[in-house]
Chain A
Amino acid sequence: MNVLNNFIYYIGSFGLIFIGLYIICVKRNLIKVIIGLSILNTGINLFLITIGYVESGTAPIFSGESIEFPRMVDPVPQALVLTAIVIGVAILALALSLAIRLYQHYGTLNLQKIREQRW
């Protein structure tokens, strides 16, 4: 129980990462692969935030009149994830537009039926 208490966030984020990887490896529908990519992205973001967590820490924002040094979480992973989320959205849009083009060209989203794309 103690292990679960300490590592629940790691377990959750790696659960998402492995679900995403499994979908990317196994599924044949291109839309499902893109959904897997998105889940993988979310898991990695969650993992980075988890690494920077400090117990009973607040967000690294000084609010109020007095500016002192309370207990704060690490700001570096948060800044990294902030940019990673936006990049993730851009990559999702690019992948979806490629999927639209592939569907128009081949008439299917099944990766095994698309030429030169089988494993």
Chain B
Amino acid sequence: MRKIISIVLLSIIAIGIILSIAEIPFGKPKMKVGKYYIDKGVKDTGATNIITSVVVNYRGFDTLGEVTVLFIAAVGVGAVLVTAEKKQKERVTEKASLVLSTGCRFLFPLILLLGAYIFVNGHLTPGGGFQGGAVIASAFLLFYMGCRWKRINKIKAQALESLGGLVFIITGLLGLIIGNYFMMNFLPKGIPNQLFSAGIIPVIYIALGCKVGSELAGVIDNMIEESE
């Protein structure tokens, strides 16, 4: 009965969507705001990656809100999973295989390096703070799977996360003090396509990379601690 009701309901929604989507031509240029960003983006912000200039510069305030949502979700995971009394059950965890436990030690610094590369070059190549942070968190996941007895230093991870958030907000507020509006690009923009260019964008993306990486690593740590 439930299946039939669901299918009927979904097909009604599907018909409505098909009727409206059929009007949208696929692949035709239909951008208005996007055209401005592509035309003026490099000149305005100095970043050759237009998506980065949208995320960090034009819509930087929204990104601040998004980072807040991520932070609240991470805090929520910690708050939900926290156990009032730590049950010291000696659960036997199976030891990781030789390939995994050797490979994780070998690959861990390399994955960290890749993540750092991704968020340092966020204004030039595909990538940025969020992607680089996710790559760094995946390195910690591999580390936890390979070397199960080891733990990251939680206080240091939280300090790094708070530092990242602080750098983001202080950079934005400095723009407000020096210029007229929050997150003004007050540093010199430099020559496009070089590493030291685009003003405050690399600074913010490095801060975001550290923040997202340590945040997601903390989430992984919370979940693994709970499952043991």
Contact = CB atoms under 8 A, between A and B. Distances in A.
Given A26-B2, A61-B126, A67-B192, 17 more contacts: A10-B21, A55-B28, A64-B193, A67-B48, A69-B39, A74-B30, A75-B41, A79-B54, A82-B128, A82-B130, A83-B55, A90-B70, A97-B80, A97-B81, A97-B223, A101-B80, A101-B81
Contacts of A89: 134, 216
Given A52-B31, A75-B34, A22 B7 contact: yes
A25 B10 CA distance: 10
B160 interface: no
Interface of A: 6-7, 9-10, 14, 18, 21-22, 25-26, 50-55, 59-65, 67, 69, 72, 74-76, 78-79, 82-83, 85-87, 89-91, 93-94, 96-98, 100-101
B124 to A, nearest CB: 8
A59 B62 CA distance: 22
Size category of the B interface is: 35 or more
A60 to B, nearest CB: 4
B132 to A, nearest CB: 11
A93 B42 contact: no
A32 to B, nearest CB: 14
Nearest to A87: B69
15 contacts: A10-B21, A21-B13, A22-B6, A52-B34, A53-B27, A54-B28, A61-B126, A62-B42, A62-B48, A69-B38, A74-B31, A79-B54, A79-B59, A82-B131, A98-B80
Given A67-B42, A100-B81, A75 B193 contact: no
Contacts of A101: 80-81
Interface in B39-84: 39, 41-42, 48-51, 54-55, 59, 62-63, 66, 69-70, 73-74, 76-77, 80-81
